[in-house]
Every structure is written in C-alpha cells, then in structure tokens.
Amino acid sequence: MQPLLVIKDERFAHHLEQIFHLENPKRLQAILSVLEEPSLAGKWTEVAPRLASPQELAMVHTPDYIERVARTSGMPLFAFDLDTQTTEKSYDVARLAVGSVFSLLDEIWKGRADRGFVPLRPPGHHAEPDRAMGFCLFNNIALGARYLKECHSVERVMIVDIDAHHGNGTQTAFYDTDAVLFVSMHGFPAFPGTGSLGEVGRKKGEGFTINIPLGKGHGDMDFARIIHFLLNPVAREYQPEIILVSCGFDLYMHDRLGAMQVSPEGYALLTRLLLETAENVCNGRIVFIMEGGYSLKGIRECGLRVLQELCNVPTLRRDKTDKLKLHGVPRFSALKKVIGIQKKYWKILR
C-alpha cells in the first residue's frame, strides 16, 4: 500500500495573521495536529509545495482579478467584501495553496501514490474567476482540475464538493464544459445562494453539473445515500480519471455555520464510500482538498476520521455501510428529486 501524500506547510498560517476572523490560522493548526496522531504514524508522506505563478492562476481567473489580489501584498488589511479579507502575505499564501494542489497532483501523476490530502488555507471553492468571496481568494480545486487537463492531458475530472456551502466558483468555472463533472451536496437556501436543483450546466456542459440542495439538519446516512445512490453510479458512467474532493468540515454537527448533523463517524463513512468509488472508476486516484469548517473540535475529530480512512486505518463497523442498502432512496425526497432531474442526462439513473 502506497503512503498517503500530504502537504504540510506552516506558511498557510500567514494569511489573516493577528486578525479576528472565522477563517483563521487555528484551523490550520487543528488539522496539522491530526497528522501527529499515533494511528497515522508512518502512513503518510510529505510533498513539498510551490507557489503557483500568475500565468497558472489565469487558467481559471481573469488577469485583472489576479492583479487586484496581487496589489494587496504588503497591506496590513484589505477587504474585498464583508467576509473576505487579505493581510500583507495573503497573496503569496493563496498562491502557495494553489501550488500545493499542483505539486501533489504532479506526484500522483508520476505514480508515486493514488491518494492525497491537502490541508490548506485560504479555502477556494467560492472564488469566482473575477471575484473573491466567502473567505476564498483563488479557486484551488478548479485550478487543480484545469492543471490536470492542461499539464497532464487528463480528459475527465470529477469534482465532488462535500462542504456545507455550495461551491459557486467551481460551478462557474466548468458550467459550460463536459470536461469536468461537478457534484455538490450543500445546504439550500444558504450562502452563497446558488446551487439549486435546476442548475445543471449549459451548452456543452448541460448535465455535467449536479446540485443536491438540502434543508438544515441532514446527517450521516443522508449524505452517505447521496454518494451510494447518485454519485457512485454517475461516476461509473462518466469514468473520470481522478476524483477531486472539496472537503469542508462544516457538515459537522456542531459547526457554527454549517447547520448539518454529520458526526466524525459520518465523515469516515463518506470518505470510505468516496474511496470505493475511486477504486471502481479511476484506479483509486483521489485527492481531498480542504475547504471550510469552523469548529476546531470538528476539524480535529472529523479530520482524523477522514485521514484514517485515507491511510487505510479501519474505524467503521460493517453494519454502517449495510444500512444504506436497507433504507434506500424512497425515504429521502431530496435525493429522489435530484435523480428525477439527472436521469435525463445519465442512463444509469433511469
């Protein structure tokens, strides 16, 4: 078994240093502390990150927007909106976040490993091509997908967003292409206000955006059913060459922003199911890229269960996955609605 590839860099703490903010350096410290857990010893390998260049950022973002972020370098504090600020080192930290994704993907494409985990900040999935928002500056996962296509000639990439908030920026980046399949399960209505059932892509991309909008309070088995009954079969039909996961820890039951009820064991279950999907469709290639999550306890406890699954440290009871088949889709109306819409595009759902 190849070790899990991990980025570990303290420089991510230099974004919003000494600033009171929900998206703060303590989040990084929380997830990095998990890597020192005895159960993970010897099961992961560190990958050296690099900074993405402005030219690489332009694979998703407009040159004018990149320049606007670059001009904040050296400023003690700059606000793009009420939620999204920078401090003097934020531009380079955001470039490091993107470059970390690139570095890890390079190693996977060299065959060094099949799995990766990138604990980074600032998060990225809300960043639009021309706009910072939702704590995000550059769209780390969208840029990762573009990098795979441009630099490694990957034809089909699947992005799965398990953050409690819709990845509007990621959706925008690929809304009119079939080269990336974007699947997001998220609270709705909620920030950022996008991600409704009818948002399915347009032109060549119609059917390659799958949104699963959910009301408050959904827990472990609901998210597991989404993966088992929707995401897994669609992945079998699409046959991606790699799965990229926008991994938010704000589905956690005590997160202050998420409004969901997923337990640490639930995160283990979601990870296990995603790993099984990757094994079935893309030779196990899968990378988890950190997004939101604003409970430090949630980041530590859920992060540990995710990392244990990625490192093949079993923590789940067998009956946890068996329950999926017993209850099925009929009791889950939100999932039935999504399947009703998406079966127009995916034969496997009919």
Contacts of 336 by beta carbon, 8 Å cutoff, 6+ apart: 329, 330
Alpha-carbon separation of residue 236 from 154, 239, 258, 309 (angstroms): 17, 5, 30, 22
- Look at residue 332 in the predicted model and tell me its pLDDT: 85
- The pLDDT, as a whole number, for residue 327 is 63
The lowest-confidence range among 50-64, 66-80, 91-105, 316-330 is 316-330
pLDDT band at 328 (very low <50, low <70, confident <90, very high): low
Q: Which of 201, 239, 224, 233 is nearest to 349 (CA)?
A: 233
Asked if residue 75 has pLDDT above 80, the reply is yes
Q: Look at the chain and report how many structural domains it folds into.
A: 1
Of 14, 15, 125, 126, which is the active-site residue? 126
**What are the φ/ψ torsions at residue 212 (nearest 5 degrees)?**
-120, 85
Return the residue matching tokens 């604990």. Answer: 119
Which residues sit opposite 187 in a β-bridge?
214
Question: What range defines the domain where residue 228 resides?
Answer: 4-349
Residue 200 is encoded by which pair of tokens? 């399915």
Q: Among candidates 143, 110, 183, which has minimal Cα distance to 349?
A: 183
Residue 319 has pLDDT above 80, yes or no: no
Check if 126 is active-site. Answer: yes
Cα angle 276, 195, 173; round to 5: 80
Is residue 321 pLDDT above 80, yes or no? no
Residue 270's nearest CA partner among 111, 143, 145, 164 is 164
Q: Which residues contact 207 (CB under 8 A, 6 or more apart)?
A: 178, 200, 201, 342, 344, 345, 346
- Half-sphere exposure in the Cβ direction for 268 (13 Å, CA): 19
**Closest alpha carbon to 167 in 227, 206, 104, 209:** 209
Give the pLDDT of residue 329.
64
DSSP helix/strand/coil, 252: strand
Structure tokens at 70: 């670059």
Average pLDDT, the chain: 96
- Contact call for residues 341 and 197 (beta carbons, < 8 A): yes
Percent of the chain's residues with pLDDT above 90? 94
* Gap between the Cα atoms of 79 and 81, Å rounded: 5
How many residues in total does the chain contain? 350
pLDDT tens by residue, 240-298: 999 999 999 999 999 999 999 999 999 999 999 999 999 999 999 999 999 999 999 99
Convert the pLDDT of each residue in 179-189 to its tens digit: 999 999 999 99
The whole-angstrom distance between residue 165's C-alpha and the CA centroid of its chain comes to: 11
At 270 the pLDDT is 97
Range from 88-92, 325-329, 333-337 carrying the lowest mean pLDDT: 325-329
Phi-psi region of 111 (alpha: psi -120 to 50; beta: other; left: phi over 0): left
- C-alpha span between 91 and 110 (Å, rounded): 29
Reported in sequence order, the residue ranges of the chain that DSSP labels E, i.e. its strands, are: 4-7, 44-47, 78-79, 85-86, 115-118, 157-161, 180-187, 209-214, 242-247, 286-290
Q: Is the pLDDT of residue 226 over 80?
A: yes
Confidence of residue 326 (pLDDT cuts 50, 70, 90): low
Of 314 and 211, the structure prediction assigns the larger pLDDT to: 211
Q: Supply the Cα-derived Rg of the chain in whole angstroms.
A: 19
* pLDDT tens digits, 15-59: 999 999 999 999 999 999 999 999 999 999 999 999 999 999 999
For the stretch 85-124, pLDDT in tens is 999 999 999 999 999 999 999 999 999 999 999 999 999 9
